[in-house]
Amino acid sequence: MTQKKKKTIRMIPQARTPAHEQDPHERARNFLEVNCGYHVEDALLEAERCLLCPEQPCVSGCPVNIAIPDFIQRITEKDYRGAYDVITATNLLPAVCGRVCPQETQCEGVCTVGESLEPVAIGRLERWVGDLAIKEGWSNVPYIEPSGLRVGIVGSGPAGMACAADMAKAGCEVTVFEAFHEAGGVLKYGIPDFRLPNAVVDAEIGKLEQLGIRFECNTLVGRLFSIEQMIEEMGFHAVFIGTGAGYPSFMGIPGESLNGVLSANELLTRCNLMRARDFPDYDTPLQPGRQVAVIGAGNTAMDALRVCLRLGAEQVRCLYRRSRAEAPARAEELHHAEQEGIEFQWLVSPVEILDDGNRNVRAVRCVRMMLGEPDESGRRRPVPEPGSEFEIEADMVVYAIGTNANPIIGQTSKLRLTPRGYIATDDNLATSIPGVFAGGDIVTGAATVIEAMGAGRRAARGMKAFLGLRDTDFVYQERPAGPAATLFGIDRAEHGYARVRLPR
Amino acid sequence: MANATGGAGYEVVTRQDFSDVTFLLEIRHPLLAKAARPGQFVIVMAHEHGERIPLTIADFDRDKGTITLVIQAVGKTTREMQRDLRAGSRLHGLVGPMGEPSHIGKAKKVLCVGGGLGVAPVYPQARAHKASGAYVIGVLGFRNRDLVFWDDKFRACCDELILCTDDGSVGIKGMVTEGIRQAIARHPDIDECVAIGPPIMMKGCAEATRPHKIRTVVSLNPVMVDGTGMCGGCRVKIGDRVKFACVDGPDFDGHLVDFDDLMFRLQRYRATESEANKRYDENCRMRNPEAAR
């Protein structure tokens, strides 16, 4: 790599390169992808905007520490395959993460360019590279020396996929168990196609299969066999649990059992995974709402709102008890939802769901809220405004106010849990059973895709230490070869180069 | 993608028809047969475009490595299964066992009540209670003599068996609640009642046992998608609490269940269900039946 003259903020294209998007009116009625991404010329232009600053705050802002300036530089050098190699050294799913990461609070949020201009569109560049790799059929299948060790992964969502990939690269025979009939977890059942097409998820899963990872669907671990049985009877040397936190919360207000009230999880699973939107070609039903109220303003709420719009609802409202500034959704999703005509009612909280006399929803009675003193999350606590109750007409109410820990693993194993039902782990994500690790939402509570992937990778490091495998994070990274980088032909970055299994 | 039985799909090894709407499928799944306990259920997906339907496990045979389901062809999916599935067919998806197993072994004298389709899933409970040393009284309800099935299997594991038919063509004339009344009159020391069947029947059973303060367990089968606690569609009111039938149940204290709420919630997708049924009637060759095998 040749070091060019140092770039300054004045030399770079000042405006962020926009991504191609479907027209809001058109897209609000279809399930095609909203953000159509970059063309090559867009990517080249945007890549120019990276200053390649020495501090590289973006790298530490990324939960999996992608070498961001490095891959962007490869794009400017038109070494696209090289850019893909840099990203996949730490992140196996660039096409997914480029689409669903909350970049504004991660890499882009700390970008040096962002101090004076709009930050570099790192997410769009990552996605462009990921999509190109899918189109070109690139994959990085390293030479893997089998270690003879078997690893079982429970849950095929982002945490499980990330852990599976790292363990497969370390030479383990990896099997991923999934309760649904298709692998992918929240990427499949939760995130809708207009944000993350299922074909992209399948392409990324295909790459994991090329690493030798086996996916076993229709397998409910805990009930079909227990975690203890995996270790004691089924011959797994280590197990990772990434079952997520999908146990939806309701508010406990009157009227929640009326027909037309459902969780965002149910709505999204029916629509996305079960393809109820293509009823009757697919058998799963979904009674579409005409006037929909979605409670909550996170990413799941945005997905639910926009799905309802696409299913043909006339009016879709978001009810959130805080203001727009506190809404936890990714900035782009909120913006897209507003563009598509979602009506936002900020500082509003439901107190009762009202009946039409036939056990169907007629309306939601709400109360207006005011923002009081900051609470423990640092956000201002909403307090009800006395005497401000009013009704909003609705025939469908969707709850997107968060989830709790899935109880199945807790019910069926002796794993130590936290008081709230999540799996208790140490810093290396090891659980109370030796050889069993856990990560993602089932440990931390609901979070993002990339945080779950980060947890999966962290657990993989702990697992490798437990199994006595060398840390292969270094081995397959592309680094300049040459006498300085190696000693007797062995990569200097590699500490324990002999494959040693520690006595247990 | 591979699955727990090693091939694509899950093989139907036996089919048996009890009536023009009720049929039995025995499906090969050795791991599932080994893991299944009385009271648990599975989710079945007949083909790639199908819906996921929860079905209580009616029997399991660990030696043969099979589980048995008894299905009533009432909706589009179950009618399609009745039309298409036979020995050698394969199901696209089969997952389980789901739910908490029934608590067996505490009761000394047990009343096992099955109505209609509920006759099948109460069988493993009756068998397990008998094996745990309890005195088992079976009460089975059918519309008429022609619809009776599995009375022989029940006779083999019940100390007493009371058959009830609506028209009195076999056994006593009347509903299962009449059978319960007679059983309680003869055995005041019954300490548990297990009732499985349509919600209205389970409600009747719970009311029949309530004055006698007999612990009554019912198995609920509300609308659900995943069966793993994720969709919350199966939430039911138990006393003043809301529970998810798939992970907190499916067994609940019948004296606490809000059956009216359950019955209303079972109607949630009635409009789309009847639309699908109508469409199925109009065009029975909507999809190539071979696709389901």
Quickly count: other Cβ atoms within 10 Å of residue A7's Cβ: 15
SS3 A267: helix
Phi-psi domain of A421 (left: phi exceeds 0; alpha: psi -120 through 50; beta: other):
left
A374: tokens are 């900051």
pLDDT at residue A453, rounded to an integer = 85
SS3 A437: strand
Question: Mean pLDDT score of chain A, rounded to an integer?
Answer: 86
Q: Over 90: is that where the pLDDT of A36 sits?
A: no
DSSP string, chain B: -EETTSSSSEEEEEEEESSSSEEEEEEE-HHHHHH--TT-EEEEE-STTPPPEEEE--EEETTTTEEEEEEE--SHHHHHHHHH--TT-EESEEEEEESPPP--SS-SEEEEEEEGGGHHHHHHHHHHHHHTT-EEEEEEEESSGGG--SHHHHHHH-SEEEEEETT-SSSEES-HHHHHHHHHHH-TT--EEEEES-HHHHHHHHHHHGGGT-EEEEE-----SSSSSSS-TTEEEETTEEEEHHHH-SEEETTTB-HHHHHHHTTTTHHHHHHHHHHHHH-TTSS-GGGG-
CB distance A380 to A373 below 8 Å: yes
Integer Cα distance of A12 and A15 in angstroms: 9
Integer Cα distance of B46 and A63 in angstroms: 41
pLDDT tier, B6 (very low <50, low <70, confident <90, very high otherwise): very low
> Which residue from B minimizes the CA distance to A253?
B242
| Residue B37: closest CA among B133, B91, B105 | B105
A16: tokens are 């962020």
Of A186 and A144, which is predicted with more confidence? A186
Integer Cα distance of A411 and B274 in angstroms: 37
Nearest to B231 among A220, A266, A275 (CB): A266
Measure CA A2 to chain center: 35
SS3 A61: helix
Q: Over 90: is that where the pLDDT of A447 sits?
A: no
CB distance A459 to A437 below 8 Å: yes
State what percent of residues in chain A have pLDDT above 90.
37
The single-letter DSSP state of residue A347 is S
Which contiguous run of DSSP H or E holds residue A140?
A: none
CB distance B52 to B45 below 8 Å: yes
CB contact under 8 A, B95 and A265: no
Phi-psi domain of A270 (left: phi exceeds 0; alpha: psi -120 through 50; beta: other):
alpha
Nearest to B237 among A214, A224, A257 (CB): A257
Q: How far apart are the two ends of chain B, measured CA to CA in Å?
A: 17
Residue A433: how many CA atoms within 13 Å on its side-chain side?
23
CB contact under 8 A, B232 and A217: no
Nearest to A262 among B226, B233, B271 (CB): B233
| Residue A315: closest CA among A335, A333, A288, A348 | A288
CA distance A158 to chain B (A): 17
B97: tokens are 């066992």
pLDDT at residue A504, rounded to an integer = 44
CB contact under 8 A, A265 and B244: no
CB contact under 8 A, B225 and A284: yes
Integer Cα distance of A216 and A341 in angstroms: 41
SS3 A387: coil
Average pLDDT on B188-200 reads 91
DSSP string, A78-137: T-HHHHHHHHHTT-S-HHHHHHHS-GGGTTGGG-SGGGTSPPP-HHHHHHHHHHHHHHHT
CB distance B265 to B234 below 8 Å: no
Chain B residues touching residue A270 (CB < 8 angstroms): 225, 231
CA angle A457, A459, A463 (to 5 degrees): 115
Quickly count: other Cβ atoms within 10 Å of residue B207's Cβ: 15
| Residue B136: closest CA among B164, B165, B166, B105 | B105
Backbone angles phi, psi at A349, to 5 degrees: -130, 130
pLDDT at residue A264, rounded to an integer = 93
CA distance B64 to chain A (A): 17
CB distance A161 to A453 below 8 Å: yes
Average pLDDT on A417-438 reads 90
Average pLDDT on B44-50 reads 89
Cis peptide preceding B250, ω within 30 of 0: yes
CA distance B249 to chain A (A): 12
CB distance A227 to A414 below 8 Å: no
pLDDT tier, A349 (very low <50, low <70, confident <90, very high otherwise): very high
CB contact under 8 A, A265 and B279: no
pLDDT at residue A502, rounded to an integer = 43
Of A84-93, A251-260, B283-292, which has the strongest mean pLDDT? A251-260
pLDDT tier, A303 (very low <50, low <70, confident <90, very high otherwise): very high
Measure CA A424 to chain center: 22
Give the pLDDT confidence of A191-246 residue by residue, as tens digits.
Answer: 898 888 888 889 889 888 988 899 999 999 999 999 999 999 999 999 999 998 77
State what percent of residues in chain B have pLDDT above 70.
94
Chain A residues touching residue B27 (CB < 8 angstroms): none
Average pLDDT on A127-153 reads 85
Residue B186 CB contacts under 8 Å (≥ 6 apart), including other chains: none
The single-letter DSSP state of residue A308 is H
| Residue A96: closest CA among A57, A138, A133, A44 | A133
CB contact under 8 A, A262 and B94: no
ipTM of the complex model: 0.86
CA distance A213 to chain B (A): 11
Question: Mean pLDDT score of chain B, rounded to an integer?
Answer: 87
Chain B residues touching residue A284 (CB < 8 angstroms): 51-52, 225
CB contact under 8 A, A283 and B77: yes
Chain A residues touching residue B50 (CB < 8 angstroms): 282-283
Integer Cα distance of B137 and B159 in angstroms: 6
Of A166-170, A250-254, A363-367, B173-177, which has the strongest mean pLDDT? A363-367
Which residue in the block uniquely carries the two structure tokens 């563009």?
A: A339
Average pLDDT on B173-181 reads 87
CB distance A347 to A323 below 8 Å: yes
A378: tokens are 């640092």
| Residue A179: closest CA among B244, B50, B228 | B228
Nearest to B229 among A180, A247, A270 (CB): A247
Q: Which amino acid is at A118?
A: E
> How many CB pairs below 8 Å do chains A and B form together?
147
pLDDT at residue A63, rounded to an integer = 81
> Which residue from B minimizes the CA distance to A259?
B268
Residue B38 CB burial class (10 angstroms; 0-12, 13-18, ≥19): buried
pLDDT at residue B7, rounded to an integer = 53
pLDDT at residue A145, rounded to an integer = 76
pLDDT tier, B60 (very low <50, low <70, confident <90, very high otherwise): very high
pLDDT at residue B203, rounded to an integer = 92
Nearest to A265 among B32, B92, B231 (CB): B231
CA distance A412 to chain B (A): 9
CB contact under 8 A, B49 and A408: no
SS3 A268: helix
CA distance B174 to chain A (A): 31
Strand pairing category for B93-98 and B41-45? antiparallel
Nearest to A280 among B225, B227, B279 (CB): B279
Give the pLDDT confidence of A171-202 residue by residue, as tens digits.
Answer: 899 999 999 999 999 998 888 988 888 888 89
Integer Cα distance of A484 and A491 in angstroms: 9
CB distance A255 to A261 below 8 Å: yes
Integer Cα distance of A100 and A449 in angstroms: 7
